[in-house]
Amino acid sequence: MISAFRNWPSALFLCLIALSLLAPLLPIHDPLAMNIASRFAPPSWAFPLGQDEYGRDILSRLVWALRSAMFIAISAALLSGAIGSALGIIGGFSRGATEVLTMRSMDIILCFPPLLLAMLAVTLYGPGSLTLIPVLALVFVPSFTRVAHASVLTVRSQEYVDAARGMGAGAGRIMLRTILPNILGPLIVQFSFVMAVTVVLESGLSFLGLGVLPPAPSLGLMIGTGRATLAQAPMLLVWPCLVLSLLILVLNAFCDRLRDWFDPRHVHGTGN
Amino acid sequence: MLTVPARSAAPSGPILAVSNLTVSLKRGDAWNAVVRNLNFEIAAGETLAIVGESGSGKSVTALSTMQLLPRGISRIEGSIKLAGRELLGLPETEMVKIRGNDMAMIFQEPMTSLNPVMPIGDQIAESIRFHRGVTQAQARADALRLMERVRIPDAKRRYGQFPYQFSGGMRQRVMIAIALACKPALLIADEPTTALDVTIQAQVLSLIKELQEEEGMAVLFITHDMGVVAEVADRTLVMYRGDQIETGTTAEVFARPAQPYTRALLSAVPQLGSMREHAKPHPFPIFDIATGEAALERELPDIRQKQAPPLLDVKGLSVRFDIRSSLLRRVTTRVHAVENVSFNLARGETLAIVGESGCGKSTMGRVIAGLRKPSSGHVELDGRDLAGLSQHELSRHVQMVFQDPFASLNPRLTVGKAIQEPLQIHHLSSPKERVEIAADLLQRVGLSPEVAQRYPHEFSGGQRQRICIARALALQPGMLVADEAVSALDVSVKAQVVNLLMDLQQELKLGIVFISHDMAVVERISHRVAVMYLGEIVEIGERAEVFGNPRHPYTRRLLDAVPMPDPARRHYRRNLTGDGELRSPLKPRGFVPPQRHYEEIKPGHLVQVPGPEWA
Amino acid sequence: MAWFLQRVALSIVLLWVVTTLVFLSIYMVPGDPVELLLSQDGAAPDRATIELIREDLGLNKPIHVQYVEKMSALARGDLGRSMVDDRPIGREIALRLPRTLELIGAAALISLLIGLPAGVVAALKQGRAFDRFASLVTGFAQGVPVFVVGTLMILVLSQLLKLMPAGGFVAYASDPIGHLKLLFMPAVAIGIGLSAILFRITRASMKDVLPLDFVRTAHAKGLPERYVIVRHVLRNALMPVITVFALQLGGLLGGTVLVEYVFNWPGLSGMLVSAVSARDYPTVTAVILVISALFIGLNLVVDILYGLADPRVRK
């Protein structure tokens, strides 16, 4: 509360979420409506950022592309977060063979660089959002598992976990009610981080033409096609580059802010 | 280099002279004076102890002298003179030449004070190389000599080893070797033995003392332990919240404390042997810090139900942990944590289990509380075998209070919810009743029911321990296992929590297993005592018997090593307890523990017949 | 020594599991994989083609026979043939892999020269102007995707300022200067992000180590500041840096794909992207296998380095 200015990442993050949610309600053109007559038209009142190679509204396409990037990022991060955290907590809490098995299987997934794993999946299942979300989720499951596992390792040796066992709490209750609330911080940080990385990965795949399929608006795709008309209409390339960079910058800054917030060393007042 | 007066000749002045020292630390934007107007001197060959509870500013004083406080957030005013030379205002390039050379320091945490990735020997040689400008080979030879001087066995081989291969006591010896590397005129020891076991503490303290005599160093000794003060210090300075309360020769301060705080502090110190006249447990006298006066002493009736069948009956209990080789996961060695242990506990009785780290006392506590399964043997509670009880059922009868009050409460639960949690787990009472029960329990442990809405981090260590006790009582168990439950608390708070446990025992007829390494507290609280060594009980009996007439060599060694808060009874010099380390409970696979025999000295006082290792 | 053997054994097991998984991946597709691979433009492929492909991929044999054949082929170093032009995949990879590795090496060098020292200095001067400035810049640089950096570099340096060639490749042997000129832009494009990451992790790790007790011990010994930083702080702070850096380099084995594509650098990526587009399953799996194997090898090297640097790990 010291200064709203200092917390610009959170403010901008909320703006991005609002923009994505409200995209269908905004008074902007249909992002798919073509008008060949006005290809590469310069900015005008009706089209503030001009029109692209098919005469579509660039502004509207940027907003919708942002929406799709956010949607994919949040869905994939939620999916992998849920699976990865559950595996990490169960593995970390039960120890023994279960622990070895979960952590080793994560090591195996980690042997594949993320982009390659995604490309293998695209080869098998074909491109498109429906392939993209589960694949991106799978790619980031190990990161959640590792974070959850590491946090459980520190938490499970705390005496309050023993205390919970000592009062007769079952494994499920301890994992959900005692451990989970105490490792939520690192998991939320990881969630925001994975969101940022997912945006990068998704845009990369779309850039190569292996992600979101045209004509759906996607930042990576817009950059990819913009390269072809680099000399003719450089702004077609510059706009999506700017929006994508800004999006990732905000997500990263937001993640850093969360990390500081949850850093145990920043907890104020220990009461003694 | 600083010129220090020749140590053989009569020193011309004090080695360290501190006057009007005020230290402020920056918190947020404000400066906080944590040490105010401190004055003291130390002569060559003399030991000054600065004593105080946590937050008294004693460690800050030590770090200020070394000028090791982080720059920018600390401000030191006044004067600190080392052999006549003013240290305040010296540029860092000059301080670097003085630190480790003319004055040196050892720290509290031997486990973290050494660089984990650098060989031990190099960490000693480093200092010599920089201050003396000698060759690598020469520094190495000197370091080896130093390791031998601080009695690290097999120094040549251990020179190249890393800190993780050293025990706590051995690491502290390495720290001493580093500090002594350049024969400093002043040695600052900041709680050097607090993290060590009591027998190891005795060895380290007498080593410091002996080296001081040989070198004629001035020693500034920082501690919270009045027993240690009495053992080592010529003069004592008492600090309280940043102020110098009292200074004098140690004998004077202990015999005729001038200030109420000093009186209260001294009286609160658990003193081994103070219970000679009492056969039963006896509460600590509680002293008012403002007046130094004691509350009225109370006698507690003996409520032990000795005739009834025992509340807890442990027969032939053993716990072993397998250690597997990393490659083939074969069991190569086993930790014999608890080995063939038997004892019982009556309702309303406190049995103390004492011993040093690794003796298996905590493991045994966890077995009794159901948190660990025994490898063999039986534990019967109220005549029912623990093996047949689920943790859920068992928790109605036994609850545990843990050592670390900062770690044993879930930071995400309010205090009220934490106390209600056991009731919730067992589906006892309605939500509304639970709130009332929690309020009632808070009152019982001496806290206001209003604090139920607060989170653990808002409480002090002593208050948290009270909360933990309240939580443990929520299910109305017949028995408590207190695992080092007061070890982390300051002396004055410690006395109060021990008294609380004794009062609760009276009210609720609790059986208490009190696990502790603190012999003086044990002497107060327990009816009976069991002494553990390497997983076995070597001696057990009525408290007055075991303390008054210790028979096993280990019990004697343990009692001898406890520092006495009485300067007239300094005894380390006579009783140098050798340089041995605690032996390891780690045994090769297939190790068969020797058959032990017990001798009954008096009814109930059993002593293990010492094996050949004690000859 | 036991520790060392254990790491090697673990890597071999990992390699075997990864190979098996890649082999099995084609069966993880619901329905007939061949039909799916061929149904690119929505047109149903004719039966004869399906049979032909099936024969070609060996999918008509029982699965265990296929597995043994595939594994023994791999053991001989035979990576199979492309489904599109029937060329041996191994030879193509051998031609392109060094170019990819060269690119990664150049980027790693850039980041080690910039990110590492900058991180150390920033940690020592926490909160000062340099720290704040560098943290801001890297906060931006680590986020921007590498293909955006590359594309914008082409736009500015090649298109507008005409300083650099927009992309392509000449062999070092035939034109050393031209080769390095073409290497410059893609290496910098990767190097920027990598420097930023290296900066941040170095700074964070230094910040973690600086307040530790043993650093205070080193100061109490009266060792000079610079010596304490290098021998005590940096020595310990580098451990997590090594781990993260290696992970990043491993990620780059796949991540250069985008940069190579942007700058027309004929490494593994061109091969991979066109193979994925053409659904050339044998080529895709072969490239992925090679990269994963390199990745496992890299991790092994890092583990061993780590063990040499930290005695506690060897225990």
Q: Are A219 and A69 spatial neighbours (Cβ–Cβ below 8 Å)?
A: yes
Does some domain include residue B119?
yes
Strands laid side by side in the B186-190 sheet:
B85-86, B74-82, B16-27, B30-42, B243-249, B235-240, B47-51, B218-223, B186-190, B103-106
Q: Which residue in A2, A154, A160, A265 has the most chain B C-beta atoms within 10 A of its own C-beta, making it the best mutation to test that interface?
A: A160
Contact C2 B326 (CB under 8 A): yes
pLDDT of residue B345: 95
How many contacts does A have with C, using Cβ atoms within 8 A? 130
Of C217, C220, C222, nearest to B131 by CB-CB distance is C222
Domain assignment present for C310: no
pLDDT for C239 = 86
Is A47 inside any structural domain?
no
For chain C, the chains sharing at least 3 beta-carbon pairs closer than 8 angstroms are A, B
Q: From residue A25, how far is each of A19, A64, A69, A74, B18 by CA, in Å?
A: 10, 11, 18, 21, 74
**What are the residues whose beta carbons fall under 8 Å from the beta carbon of B132, sequence distance 6 or more?**
B139, B142, B182
For chain B, say whether A168 makes contact (Cβ under 8 Å): yes
Residue B441 covered by a domain? yes
CA C315 to chain centre: 30
Partner B contacted by A154 (CB < 8 A): no
Cβ pairs A/B, distance under 8 A? 80
Residues in C closer than 8 angstroms to A245, CB to CB, are 140, 143-145, 148
Is C254 contained in some domain?
A: yes
Domain range holding A251? 2-17+52-262
- The CATH number of the domain holding residue B370 is 3.40.50.300
Averaged confidence pLDDT in chain C: 84
User: Which run of H or of E encompasses A205?
Assistant: helix A180-207
pLDDT band, residue C215 (cuts 50/70/90): very high
Decide if C222 contacts B101 (C-beta within 8 A): yes
Residues 6+ positions from B54 with CB-CB distance below 8 Å: A272, B224, B490
Distance CA A163, CA B362 (A): 14
> What are phi and psi for residue B503, nearest 5 degrees?
-65, -45
For A168-220, how does the pLDDT look when each residue is reduced to its tens digit (9 = 90+)?
A: 899 999 999 999 999 998 898 899 889 988 998 899 889 888 888 878 888 98
Q: Provide φ and ψ at B29, rounded to 5°.
A: -105, -5
Q: How far is B207 from chain A (nearest CA, A)?
A: 35
DSSP B401: E
**A141 occurs within a structural domain:** yes
Q: Given this model, what pLDDT does residue B572 score?
A: 54
Residues C215, C128 within the same domain: yes
Nearest to A203 by CA among A160, A137, A247: A247
Please judge whether A269 and B468 are an interchain contact, meaning their C-beta atoms are less than 8 angstroms apart.
no
Residue B374 lies in a domain: yes
Cβ–Cβ of C236/B116 closer than 8 Å?
yes
Q: Do the Cβ atoms of B541 and B529 come closer than 8 Å? A: yes
What residues in B contact C218, CB-CB < 8 Å? 115
Tell me which residues of chain B have a C-beta less than 8 Å from any C-beta of chain C.
66, 68, 92, 95-101, 104-105, 107, 109, 112-118, 126-127, 130-131, 162, 164, 175, 178, 181, 325-327
Contacts of B392 in chain A (CB under 8 A): 168, 170
Q: At what angle do helices C235-262 and C146-153 cross, to 10 degrees?
A: 60
Residue B448 backbone phi and psi in degrees, to 5: -80, 140
Question: Helix-strand-coil percent breakdown of chain B, rounded to 5?
Answer: 35, 25, 40
Whether residue A265 is predicted with pLDDT greater than 70 in this model: the reply is no
Q: Which residue has the higher pLDDT, C36 or B351?
A: B351
- ipTM of the complex, rounded to two decimals: 0.80
B-C CB pairs within 8 A amount to: 87
Least confident of A237-251, B81-95, B534-548, C240-254: C240-254
Check residue B587 and give its pLDDT.
82
Higher pLDDT, A164 or C63: A164
pLDDT at A230 over 80: no
Which chains have 3 or more CB–CB distances shorter than 8 Å to chain B?
A: A, C
CB contact under 8 A, A159 and B54: no
Residue A38 inside a domain? The answer is: no
C-alpha–C-alpha distance, residues A114 and A20, integer Å: 26
B52 occurs within a structural domain? no
Calculate ∠ Cα B96-B101-B106, nearest 5°.
95
Check CB contact under 8 Å for A252 and C18. Answer: no
User: φ, ψ for residue B36 (rounded to 5)?
Assistant: -125, 120
Most distant pair of Cα atoms in chain B: their distance: 80
Of B404, B408, B425, the CB nearest to A168: B425
Confidence of residue C110 (pLDDT cuts 50, 70, 90): very high
Q: Are residues C63 and C153 in the same domain?
A: no
Our count of domains for chain C comes to 2
What's the pLDDT at C32? 67
Distance in angstroms (rounded) separating the CA atoms of residues B200 and B206: 10
Distance from CA of C129 to the nearest CA of B (A): 16
Structural contact between residues B174 and B114, judged by C-beta atoms closer than 8 angstroms: yes
* pLDDT < 50: residue spans in chain B: 1-10, 574-577
Same domain, C62 and C186: no
How high is the pLDDT of residue B1? 42
- Cα–chain center distance at B192: 11
Computed over every residue of chain A, the mean pLDDT equals 83
Looking at residue C45, its pLDDT comes to 65
Is B162 among the domain residues? yes
Q: For testing the chain C interface, which of B97, B105, B113, B124 should be mutated: the one with the most C CBs within 10 Å?
A: B113
In a domain, A63, yes or no: yes
Residue C179 structural domain: 97-277
Average the pLDDT over each of A14-18, B265-269, C118-122 and give the range with the smallest value: B265-269
A151 reaches B (C-beta below 8 A): no
Residue B373 lies in a domain: yes
Note the pLDDT tens digit of each residue in A32-91: 777 777 777 778 777 777 777 777 888 888 889 899 999 999 999 999 999 999 999 999
| pLDDT at residue B575 in the model | 47
Q: Is the Cβ of A129 closer than 8 Å to some Cβ of chain B? A: no
Q: Which residue, among B245, B243, B222, B237, has the nearest Cα to B22 in the 3D structure?
A: B243
- Interchain proximity C214–B115, CB inside 8 Å: yes
- How is residue A261 written in tokens? 């917030």
Q: B229, B228, B262, B233: which is closest to B245 by C-alpha?
A: B262
Number of compact structural domains in chain A: 1
Contact A271 B460 (CB under 8 A): yes
Residue of A nearest to B389 (CA): A168
CA distance B31 to B24: 6
For B141, the domain range is 109-171
Contact (CB<8Å) A159/B412 = no
- Say if residue C40 is in the same domain as residue C157: no
- Which residues fall within 8 angstroms of residue A151, CB to CB, at 6 or more apart? A88, A92, A182, A183, A186, A187
- B409/A270 touch (CB, cutoff 8 Å), yes or no: no
Burial class (CB in 10 A: 0-12, 13-18, 19+), C59: middle
CATH classification at residue A197: 1.10.3720.10
pTM of full prediction above 0.90: no
What is the pLDDT, as a whole number, of residue C55? Answer: 74
Chain A CB contacts of C152 below 8 Å: 237-238, 241
In a domain, residue B397? The reply is yes
Tens of pLDDT along A122-169? 877 777 778 889 989 998 999 999 999 999 988 888 899 999 999 989
Are B395 and A181 an interchain contact pair (Cβ–Cβ within 8 Å)? no
Q: Buried b vs exposed e over B461-478: b needs ≥16 C-beta within 10 Å? A: bbbbbbbbbbbbbbbebb
> For the CA atoms of B411, B412, B418, B423, what is the dihedral angle to 10 degrees?
-140
A172 near B CB under 8 A: no
Classify residue C297: in a domain, yes or no: no
In a domain, C92, yes or no: no
CB contact under 8 Å between C151 and A223, yes or no, is yes
Q: How far is C267 from chain A (nearest CA, A)?
A: 14
Task: Report the C-alpha gap between C186 and C258 in whole angstroms.
Answer: 10
- Chain C residues inside the 8 Å CB shell of B121: none
Chain C residue with Cα closest to A104: C14
Of B92, B100, B164, the CB nearest to C220: B100
Q: Could you give the CA distance from residue B533 to residue C170 in angstroms, rounded to a whole number? A: 76
Distances (CA, A) of B297 to B265, B285, B293, B294, B468: 17, 6, 12, 8, 26
Q: How far apart are CA C10 and CA B482, in angstroms?
A: 44
CA distance B369 to chain A (A): 7
Give contacts of B391 with chain A, Cβ < 8 Å: 165-166, 168
The pLDDT, as a whole number, for residue A90 is 93
The reported pLDDT for the residue numbered B578 is: 52
Torsion over CA of B396, B402, B407 and B413, rounded to 10 degrees?
A: 30
Cβ distance of A241 and C143 shorter than 8 Å: no
Nearest to A178 among B54, B410, B471 (CB): B410
Best residue of C217, C232, C233, C305 to probe chain B, by most B CBs closer than 10 Å: C217
Among C12, C38, C147, C277, pick the best mutation site for testing chain A contact (most A Cβ within 10 A): C147
Q: Is residue C293 part of a domain?
A: no
Please answer yes or no on whether C221 and B92 come within 8 Å at the CB atom: no
Total tally of structural domains belonging to chain B: 2
* Record: contact C144-A223, CB cut-off 8 A: no
**Residue B529: closest CA among B541, B513, B519:** B541
> Does the beta-carbon distance from B457 to A267 stay under 8 Å?
yes
Question: Tell me: the pLDDT tens digits for C72-97?
Answer: 888 787 888 877 777 888 888 998 99
More confident residue, C173 or C185: C185
